[in-house]
Structure 1
């Protein structure tokens, strides 16, 4: 066999073989390079990222196009809002064309991208109407969103839905339906569209309106990149002496539990770690809108350490405009400023503090697609030989403080309960009598049930009568009579604590009483 080359000459069989080997090597190299790039991109798409919000229309203008540190490379420009109908505006002040002319916004975005920065666009905010609120025509709403995406070339969008907008469920359904279709169209044409919901939260997590907004997105088929909670303005849900950092951590923990329930209710199986990746946090740096709340740099560090430890997917802040210490002419620092934080910073920045460990990038993360993570049914099987506490039973009753095992996790009863699943997907903590303590650990064995030595008290006898205050042992555990009774087993006190004449005593308390009595007698 010989191979013709362009001038009509032929290669010898040896040279032909070498040529084929070379072509094959180049092809394999190209394939491997593609595979390596794809693998690297897949890993990069799951890396948590930081991007601070920039209030585009605030004065004085913030020069986001000139980032001073890596923490300022990626920004979330806010807010695109309705003009009262179906046209997008910046803050209700400028159309997109007007923003280009009067704020030089398009050029500034281009300048940021020249420096390898990226932008996301945030729709909504507290003070104006998000487009879906005023635009009831779904086709017009889709055009409005598409115009923004096309104008600024963004692959990550953020919906900051608050107050009346959040309460408007009809608008929420429109928003979810239209965004689901836009996301499908993007992905069908090999494009990216990451969708974040930014919602107010208390230390107990999302409000009922917030969980409804998430459910609407999931029901419509939106692949949510995540839920970004505003860890700010906690009000009465924040405990006395609780730092803003501690309150933010509690809020994230509660929202993670809610997201677990929301995805279960949507029939989507995701791991606990994936659900942490679908969480974001946005503190208001420095002085918050509530005068008694101010997030310090120490609070920011505390929040960052928890967030990186758990692996949340996003960190933002409100706002980059405010990331500077107020000057001496700004006297009342409890009054929120658009241009300074209101707290001492000593030359440090909130952006650098909060961004620490968030090494991902907006553009890469936008390509991540959520995939189901079904658990092996064997993971739900509880073995009495390796469970530290009794396995939950639908027919049993449990007193406050009782610990049980269910689906390889340990739960503790918050009050008397019977027949209520420990892992039932509820959206609020007060809806379940169970608190999740943590997983069953490797090599655990049943915790021995403490008992008192025989003879400590008389063994209960169904034929005997007992007066109020009498004590007995039943299967080694101590009980005390609440009133005269005969033939009523102490065992019933667990299933009917109010109706039973017996109350279970704490063994440690009884032992302390007996030791004290022995010491007094001695």
Structure 2
């Protein structure tokens, strides 16, 4: 995220997974689940398990505040209850003093106390029941770990900020050059892990949120690398907060900001499941959702044709609440107001207004609905290995589509069932597991459609009787109109060809000489109706 205007400047190591005491309630859950599996069967226990192990989530809302922006935003006197918790932005390295924390590279903490009265304003916020969170990094300056290469000094710099503002939660907004710097990323992860340990030894909690850019397809490769580095170093991440904004070319034509943002969250959820699994930490789907935060840029985004509207905010909040995300934020509280009449071009982003007509409505109030938790209370939660639901045994009699098989050949659009879910093929595939844990969605030929629903039965599939057409042979030539079988599908030649596999018709239908027979055509064959004149293929002599 960008602080849009500021005054001029005057070898990872694995940490053991934390464990909790087993409460009486958790013991009861374990006993009952065991009984459910033994007496009720694997599939019957699955749906019960999903509700019984849902974590208690107390999601919180906090809007970002650009501390150094002008005019100064009075976060200490929030306009509504939604503004009582704030993410103060951004602590970065002071220009020319690589290990000295500063606000926007313009003010040291002492200078901010004097020039911005920041300490007193934070104290007033706390008197009124609000909580400050400090965000490190941002788009425009060096995050401390990028410029400060001495790990002892770096840890001391972070610690000084935590102590100064009495923080239970910190936010690391890592983007642009800070995210691309791999050495800085490793250093950051190692130091934050050590910092978290020292806070724990002192009897204090330190929740760490990692804020990263996102596309509708999920986190970038640099983003997943950053999460992996933190997990490898042993950081107990409170969660990953994704910046659902400024999608640019990654947003497909006609895709709404709401749809792009919910897609980004769904893909991030999938990616976190893979990352935690690789770190040998088992988490349920519900817990993974609780480890995700969302931060839209309200109103006009930096990309001109991207506008996050009040209706988008309402829809986004409903999605976030329904899925049990742990956090909602926004960029920024400074901007949560209609632009004045003197601000002529609302397509140009302002740091003090949203660029859309809001009337008396505030984005913060819409996004904060049912997000009433406390960041400080959430900071007491630790990550533990969880018992995952048993793998579903697929039943052909209760599955709407065929059960996936490693020997099967699946064309574009083919639907299969695997482990209780329905998947659709994005292109021709054979031997690719539908639930293969890949970080990037383009690395799998399958799209998850959704679960098999109770009461479903197999969808009738028209198949050509065995022997109706010859099996396709790469050595034969096929005149126009020839029909063949490959795998479980029937094809018809659009023109003379040799050596062109019919399977390619799925991925490149325009250039393939083959077209797959439709269900109607197959049903006509089964009914005994005349088919097109069949021309026998010609076997090409060897040599």
- TM-score band by shorter chain is 0.7 to 0.9
Q: Deviations over 1:106-158 (max 9, x none)?
A: 11111111111111110001111100001111111111111111111111100
Q: Deviations over 1:475-506 (max 9, x none)?
A: 997543567899x9xxx9569989x9976412
**Does the alignment pair 1:63 with 2:74?**
yes
Check 1:371–1:505 CA distance in 2 against 1; reply closer, same or farther (3 A cut).
same
Distance apart, 1:287 and its partner CA: 1.5
Q: Structure 2 CA distance, aligned partners of 1:417 and 1:313?
A: 37
Q: Secondary structure at the match of 1:379?
A: coil
Equivalent residue for 2:435, pick from 423, 437, 448? 423
**Does the alignment pair 1:335 with 2:348?**
yes
Correspondence for 1:298: 311
Q: Deviations over 1:301-334 (max 9, x none)?
A: 1211221122211110111011111111111222
Q: Structure 2 CA distance, aligned partners of 1:477 and 1:237?
A: 35
Distance apart, 1:244 and its partner CA: 1.9
Check 1:494–1:386 CA distance in 2 against 1; reply closer, same or farther (3 A cut).
farther
Q: Secondary structure at the match of 1:437?
A: strand
Equivalent residue for 2:331, pick from 318, 326, 343? 318
Q: Secondary structure at the match of 2:400?
A: coil
Correspondence for 1:280: 293
Distance apart, 1:45 and its partner CA: 7.0
Check 1:235–1:114 CA distance in 2 against 1; reply closer, same or farther (3 A cut).
same
| Equivalences for residues 348-427 of structure 1 within 5 A | 348-376=361-389, 378-427=390-439
Equivalent residue for 2:57, pick from 42, 46, 49? 46
Q: Secondary structure at the match of 1:147?
A: helix
Q: Which is further off, 213-222 or 293-302?
A: 293-302
Equivalent residue for 2:103, pick from 90, 94, 105? 90
- The answer to whether the 8 Å contact 1:282/1:317 transfers is yes
| Equivalences for residues 152-301 of structure 1 within 5 A | 152-301=165-314
Q: Structure 1 CA distance, aligned partners of 2:487 and 2:101?
A: 73
Correspondence for 1:80: 91
Distance apart, 1:208 and its partner CA: 1.2
Distance apart, 1:65 and its partner CA: 0.7
Q: Structure 1 CA distance, aligned partners of 2:341 and 2:117?
A: 31
Correspondence for 1:15: none
Equivalent residue for 1:107, pick from 120, 129, 144? 120
Check 1:436–1:461 CA distance in 2 against 1; reply closer, same or farther (3 A cut).
closer
Distance apart, 1:387 and its partner CA: 3.0
Q: Structure 2 CA distance, aligned partners of 1:241 and 1:293?
A: 11
The CA RMSD over aligned residues, in Å, is: 3.3
Q: What are structure 1's unaligned runs of at least 5 residues?
A: 1-34, 36-42
**Does the alignment pair 1:459 with 2:468?**
yes
Check 1:102–1:474 CA distance in 2 against 1; reply closer, same or farther (3 A cut).
closer
Q: Secondary structure at the match of 1:216?
A: helix
Q: What are structure 2's unaligned runs of at least 5 residues?
A: 1-24, 26-53, 531-543
Q: Secondary structure at the match of 2:98?
A: coil
Correspondence for 1:19: none
- The answer to whether the 8 Å contact 1:397/1:495 transfers is no
Distance apart, 1:386 and its partner CA: 3.2
Q: Deviations over 1:10-38 (max 9, x none)?
A: xxxxxxxxxxxxxxxxxxxxxxxxx9xxx
Q: How many residues align?
A: 468
| TM-score, structure 2 as length reference | 0.79
Q: Secondary structure at the match of 2:427?
A: coil
Q: Structure 1 CA distance, aligned partners of 2:180 and 2:488?
A: 56
The higher radius of gyration belongs to 1
Q: Structure 2 CA distance, aligned partners of 1:184 and 1:425?
A: 31
The structure richer in helix per residue is 1
- The answer to whether the 8 Å contact 1:401/1:412 transfers is yes
Structure 1 runs of 4+ with >6 Å offset: 472-477, 482-486, 495-498, 512-515
Check 1:54–1:509 CA distance in 2 against 1; reply closer, same or farther (3 A cut).
farther
Check 1:467–1:61 CA distance in 2 against 1; reply closer, same or farther (3 A cut).
closer
Q: Deviations over 1:276-322 (max 9, x none)?
A: 11111111111211222222211211211221122211110111011
Q: Structure 1 CA distance, aligned partners of 2:189 and 2:351?
A: 31
